[in-house]
Chain A
Amino acid sequence: ELKVEQNPLFLSMQEGKNYTIYCNYSTTSDRLYWYRQDPGKSLESLFVLLSNGAVKQEGRLMASLDTKARLSTLHITAAVHDLSATYFCAVDTYSGGGADGLTFGKGTHLIIQP
């Protein structure tokens, strides 16, 4: 059974600081997703990481994937209040016969204070 663990689950930080959210998963997978969710809203896709060593950046967010360590990170640079949200990582259980759905971590609730 695939397990996806995020840490921390809750993070309060100040504007301007840097921080990293970690996502560990228990079985081999070549697809890792990062989503953002605002309260009462749906999931917004941030990154899709498809191979070992993949690194993607968008604004103040950068995600990376190490498939050998089964670890992905989401790094926040010089945080701003607008990045306050809950961030989820998810791993694809694609088996080659079709898309079997995503397994999600529990989410990291991020609060960025002025």
Chain B
Amino acid sequence: NAGVTQTPKFQVLKTGQSMTLQCAQDMNHNSMYWYRQDPGMGLRLIYYSASEGTTDKGEVPNGYNVSRLNKREFSLRLESAAPSQTSVYFCASSHRVFVFFGQGTRLTVV
């Protein structure tokens, strides 16, 4: 029972490099989300997708792009990484009131 799976778990990037964080859920949920967590800040919503084929900006979308590839997968792309994007990234999916989080990706930009 995998739930929400994120890859990679850890990543170090140099400033200016690009990368894509992958997220997949096996629960047939319509809604998926990307959050970032910084120390003392709680989680903040980057982008979300209410259903396959739709995406919307959250609270902190600048510097990120997303793709809802299909119902299962929702990826987050950093086109040109900056040190301010050092954070822990969580993907989540939801069905009605229940929200399920992945294990997180710890990203460091140097």
Contacts and interface: CB of A to CB of B under 8 A. Distances in A.
Co-complex (A, B)? yes
Given A99-B50, A100-B50, A101-B58, A106 B42 contact: yes
Contacts of B97: 31, 48, 50, 92
Contacts of B101: 42-43
A104 B98 contact: no
B74 interface: no
A114 B74 CA distance: 44
B41 interface: yes
Interface string B23-67: 000000011010100001111110010110000101100000000
Interface residues of A, number: 24
B89 to A, nearest CB: 11
A101 B45 contact: yes
Contact of A106 (B41, B48, B103, B104): B41
Nearest to A31: B97
A48 to B, nearest CB: 5
A52 interface: no
Which of A42, A88, A101, A103 is the most central at the interface, judged by chain B CB atoms within 10 Å of its CB? A101
B8 to A, nearest CB: 15
B42 A48 contact: no
A42 B104 contact: yes
Contact of A99 (B42, B94, B100): B94
Interface of B: 30-31, 33, 35, 40-45, 48, 50-51, 56, 58-59, 90, 94, 97-104
